[in-house]
Amino acid sequence: MHEARRIRPVLIALLVVAIALITLDFRDSGASPVHTLGADVFGPIERVAGDAASPFIGFFHAANGNDSAEITALQKQNDQLRAQLAQEQVSKADQAQLAQLLGRSASGYRLVAASVIAAGGEYSDTVTIGVGSRNGIAPDETVLNGDGLVGVVTSVTSGTATVQLATDVSSTVGVRMADTGQIGAVSGTGQTMAGTDDLRLTLFSATATLHAGEAIVTFGSVGGRPYVPGVPVGQVISVTSEPGALTQSALVQPYADFTGLGVVGVVVPRPPAKAKAKART
């Protein structure tokens, strides 16, 4: 009992510290320096451990095991992605228009391959990837994989980057319908880990119509940040029309498998030097 008495002050002190941390972090809306510190400390460890554990994880995902296999798979994905990207382009005219509008061409980007090294808990839709500012990664860059859009980089350390998945409840991606060109927004339902990967699509136009099976691609943002245009997102699986709603909304099934992320690519601006060079992985 006296032991309990002795540690009670410690308990109280730790509780106070925890509450203080929460308060500070709440004020900074989750961006307090503690997180930076934690990322600096745990980032490298996670990279090592994540690399070591990737074969294990890969076994579960029937994914690739070692680095060379990873790279070749990634290159393959890259090619596939480019092809898909092209296919998904609405039209050459639109493409040109877009490129003009954004002042960039689609080839003005390159992909930096990265493997997922850690993931958030059951309630959060974030992952950590094994590349950082050292590899040219910066916040607000698009992350995708061979299937489609994955998310966006939210914070970066020298060796790691944290990616907010498109399924996160606070994520909103501007999209358009590949067929009709209607624009809208896709947001997460926050239930990725709860078993449903579905996203919710809301069209901006009141007159647009939606059909199940329609493909959705990203609309793109100014400067390619946070989202580059033309990345496939998913397809409509069901249209939910709510009485009284001004616009139509639908559930979208993403192409990417968010629970089985292995290798992803981060879209970084190509260095101004030469845009034609083959994208390095």
Partner 1 sequence: MTVRRAVLSPLILFAAVIGQLVVVNRLPLPGVGLPDVVLLVVAALGVTAGPATGLLAGFAGGLAIDVAPPGGHLAGEYALVYCLIGYACGRIRDLLQGSNAERPATTSLLVMMVGVAAGEAGKAALGLMLSDPDMTGPAIRHVLPAAVLYDLLLCPFVLWLVPVVVGARTAERAPQPQFPQSLRLAPAFRLASAGAAPKLRLAGSTLPPVPPPVRAEPKLRLAGGRSSLSSRTNGAFSSAPGSALSGRPTPRLNLASAGRGNQLGGASALRAPQGAGFQGKSPGKGWLRPPKQAGTTARPGRSPRKGWIVAGRPAPANWQAKAPGKGWVRSPRPPSPGTWRRRSPGKGWIVAGGPVSPANWQPRSPGKGWARSPKPPAAPRRKSPGRGWLRPAAPGALAAPTFRPGSPGKGWLRPVGSGALAAPTWRPSSPGRGWLRPVKPVPPPRRKTPGRGWLRPARPPRQNWYTKGPSTRWLRRGRRRRLLLGGRR
Interacting residue ranges for partner 1, rule: CB under 8 A: 3-4, 6-7, 10-11, 14-15, 17-22, 24-26, 30, 32, 34-35, 37-39, 41-43, 45-46, 49-50, 53, 56-57, 60-61, 116-128, 157, 160, 162, 168-170, 190-191, 193-195, 259-261
- Residue 63 token pair: 């994914």
- Residue 9 token pair: 């002050």
Q: Report in angstroms how near the CB of residue 74 gets to partner 1 at its nearest.
A: 18
Q: Which is nearer to partner 1, 71 or 169 (CB)?
A: 169
Q: Name the 3-class secondary structure at 75.
A: helix
Element spanning 216, H or E:
strand 215-218
Which regions of 36-156 does DSSP assign to beta strands (E)?
109-119, 126-129, 142-144, 149-156
- Residue 86 token pair: 């092209």
Q: Report in angstroms how near the CB of residue 154 gets to partner 1 at its nearest.
A: 9
Q: Report in angstroms how near the CB of residue 53 gets to partner 1 at its nearest.
A: 5
Q: What one-character-per-residue DSSP string does 88-109 give?
A: HSS-HHHHHHHHHHHT--GGGE
| Tokens 């069901």 found at | 238
Q: Which is nearer to partner 1, 10 or 93 (CB)?
A: 10
Q: Which is nearer to partner 1, 58 or 234 (CB)?
A: 58
Distance of CA 170 to the CA centre of its chain: 12
Q: Which is nearer to partner 1, 99 or 193 (CB)?
A: 193
Max CA pair span of the chain: 79
Q: Report in angstroms how near the CB of residue 131 gets to partner 1 at its nearest.
A: 12
Cα 134 to Cα 79, 260, 272, distances in angstroms: 25, 26, 18
Q: Report in angstroms how near the CB of residue 111 gets to partner 1 at its nearest.
A: 21
Q: Report in angstroms how near the CB of residue 262 gets to partner 1 at its nearest.
A: 9
Q: Which is nearer to partner 1, 88 or 197 (CB)?
A: 197
Backbone angles phi, psi at 103, to 5 degrees: 75, 15
Q: Which is nearer to partner 1, 1 or 273 (CB)?
A: 1
Q: Which is nearer to partner 1, 42 or 108 (CB)?
A: 42
Q: Report in angstroms how near the CB of residue 264 gets to partner 1 at its nearest.
A: 13
For residue 54, give the nearest of 118, 143, 113 by alpha carbon.
118
